[in-house]
Copies of this chain bind each other. A is one copy, B any other.
Amino acid sequence: MEEAVKISYILVRIVIILIAAKIGGYIAEKLKQPSVLGELAAGIILGPSLFNFINPYEPDSAFQLLHFLGEIGVILLLFQIGLESNIHQLLKAGLTSTLVATIGVAVPVALGFAYSMYAIADIGFNGAFLIGATLAATSVGITMRVLSEIKKVNSHEGKIILGAAVIDDIIGLVILSVVAGLVSGAGQSIPLVVGKTILFSVIFLIASIWLGIRYLPKMYTITRPLKINRTFVFSSFVVMMFFAAVADVIGLATIVGAFAAGLIFERLEEKEHFQAKIQPMAHIFVPIFFVVAGLYLDAKALFLPGMLPLVFALTIIAVVGKLVSGFGAIGTKTSKLAIGIGMIPRGEVGLIFSAFGLAASLITKDIYSALVLVIMITTIVTPPFLVRAMKNIKGTGAISESEQIL
């Protein structure tokens, strides 16, 4: 079993990331902030901005491993959030969520495209479109973790945000497919790419959740008497990973699949057992994701000439574009401001977009860095404002771990 990297090299990094996450989370909690903010700060401190202990822009194979462990973390997080959600309640929030998502995609794409065409030399139609698309997709992980920590996952606002984030992920990925189609040019026709992605997304979500809720309980009725050791946590983990893989294969984010898997397991009578068994793993892997997200922020890029105005303008577009999406909740007795703020964080999907743009030479490395910065800023500024906006809103539902200390 030859190793490319000495195993202690990666183990030491995991240990330091976990300890830094814990310290950051503890300080954040003392400052009455969600601990996720402390974990992001831990990542920024360990990353190229300060200590340069781990540089995600010069990834070695140890970083790839860390990144993958973080991916498992965010998959576990969305699975847990699915376990905490309720499919019937989510469907009720459907129309409102769709409206919020549509506004929240249309405004940043339009403004981002227009500004890029105006302000960035030699960006080109495709590049400007990509920058707009990068600002489209909300990263539901941050918002949901904040809502979980303040126990408001099941508020009306929380459900609308969650639904809208799932929908804008789908819309966002359609846009990325369109950009990819425009780049490949000689490839498939744009209507075909658009049609296929929409079709796959809708089929996946409806079919997986419908089939899962219909047949998974029956599968458990069959396997329970087999008494295969260690079946419980094992089976939920396998189904979760499988759904994440399927989502990725058909072009959706892995977390959409993990969330769908969580929704299905929520219907099973052993729901609480699944939560209890998955939690210890989530406690370890979820913080890795947020520390890694923090690593990507390189504060030094801010000091390159012209970068500060660009980052500033794109951040304003990213924030305003989502704030106005709150008005999509028209006719409901909810805080439009809280919904808009909850939609602000961008994350893995935006980062995938900008990485695609860099790889396809649609944007330069500097603009890529600016985009990553904007994504990170939207993520970092959200939690304190979200906590404040949600303060007087009634709600229940935390990922039921907050009280567990020992």
Contact = CB atoms under 8 A, between A and B. Distances in A.
A210 interface: no
A348 to B, nearest CB: 6
A163 to B, nearest CB: 24
A228 B405 contact: yes
A244 interface: yes
Interface stretch (A191-199, A231-239, A328-336, A380-388): A231-239
A246 to B, nearest CB: 8
Interface in A389-405: 401-402, 404-405
A61 interface: yes
Contacts of A98: none
Nearest to A250: B8
B64 A1 contact: no
A22 interface: yes
Given A234-B22, A242-B15, A64 B402 contact: no
A61 B60 CA distance: 11
A221 to B, nearest CB: 12
Interface majority SS (helix, strand, loop, mixed), chain A = helix
B401 A229 contact: yes
Interface in A1-21: 1-4, 6-8, 10-12, 14-15, 18-19
Contacts of A245: 7-8, 11-12, 15
Most buried by B among A231, A280, A284, A352: A280
A88 interface: no
A68 B65 CA distance: 8
A281 interface: yes
Interface string A216-233: 000000001011111111
Contacts of A244: 7-8, 11
A401 B277 CA distance: 13
A270 B406 contact: yes
Interface of A: 1-4, 6-8, 10-12, 14-15, 18-19, 22, 25-26, 29, 35, 56, 59, 61, 64-65, 67-68, 71, 224, 226-234, 237-238, 241-242, 244-246, 248-249, 254, 270, 273, 277-278, 280-281, 283-284, 292, 296, 348, 351-352, 355, 358-359, 401-402, 404-406
26 contacts: A1-B292, A1-B348, A1-B352, A7-B71, A8-B244, A8-B248, A8-B249, A11-B241, A11-B242, A14-B241, A18-B234, A18-B238, A22-B234, A22-B238, A25-B229, A26-B226, A29-B228, A61-B64, A65-B68, A224-B406, A230-B283, A230-B405, A231-B405, A232-B404, A233-B280, A234-B284
